[in-house]
Amino acid sequence: PDLAVQLIQRGIQANPEYWRLYEDLGFVYYFDLKDYPKAAEAFLEGSKKPTAQLWMKVMAAKVAAEGDSFATSMFLWKDIYDSTPDPSVKENALLHLRLLKVREDCQQLDALADEYAKRYGKRPARISQMVQAGLLRGIPGDPLGFAYIFGQDGKAQLNLDSPLLEQQLLLDRFK
């Protein structure tokens, strides 16, 4: 894989406007090296080329999210949402923005649950316990307004009634 990266980078130096080389570089970083930040960077750089396909920016956003680069992924999905005239691409971008917000919220809730466990010797079973302990002002909701819950594993997750749960499970199948 390292030699492939070097070869593709030489190709990019010789043909800087050819977006497909950035595509190849992104896939080598993504699949072979599991270097998600570099893969996202390659896809994003390629997406800036005049003849590049829109999906290059989508890949940059997707890979950035997998590498836990929430801010980068949010920025890219927001840019895709704002710039595309295609309603299905816009809808897909909005879904990804919502699910990124869910991941970020759940990480924050898990960190607060860890703080609760330090204070009280065990993780809370319900989010309302963190409100009672003063760690939260109210019970937070997902982007559609459904309250988050703690799952069987004690981790924050989407409410079973949230329409986002089905979408999240569907997207997780393709990771």
Question: If you write DSSP's letter for every residue of the chain in order, what string do you get?
Answer: -HHHHHHHHHHHHH-TT-HHHHHHHHHIIIIIS--HHHHHHHHHHHHTSTT--THHHHHHHHHHHHTT-HHHHHHHHHHHHHH---HHHHHHHHHHHHHHHHHHHHHHHHHHHHHHHHHHSS--SSHHHHHHTTS-SS--B-TTSPBPEE-TTS-EE--TT-HHHHHHHHHHTT-
Cα(171)–Cα(175) distance, rounded to whole angstroms? 7
Total-model pTM: 0.76
pLDDT exceeds 80 at position 146: yes
pLDDT of residue 167: 94
Please give the distance of CA 104 from its chain centroid, rounded to a whole number: 9
Q: How confident is the model at residue 175 (pLDDT cuts 50, 70, 90)?
A: low
Q: What percent of the chain has pLDDT over 90?
A: 82
Q: Token match 């809808």: residue?
A: 91
Average pLDDT along the chain: 94
The model's pLDDT over 51-91, given as tens digits with 9 standing for 90+, comes to: 999 899 999 998 988 887 888 889 889 999 999 999 999 99
The model's pLDDT over 126-143, given as tens digits with 9 standing for 90+, comes to: 999 999 999 999 999 999
- The region of weakest confidence among 19-28, 54-63, 116-125 is 54-63
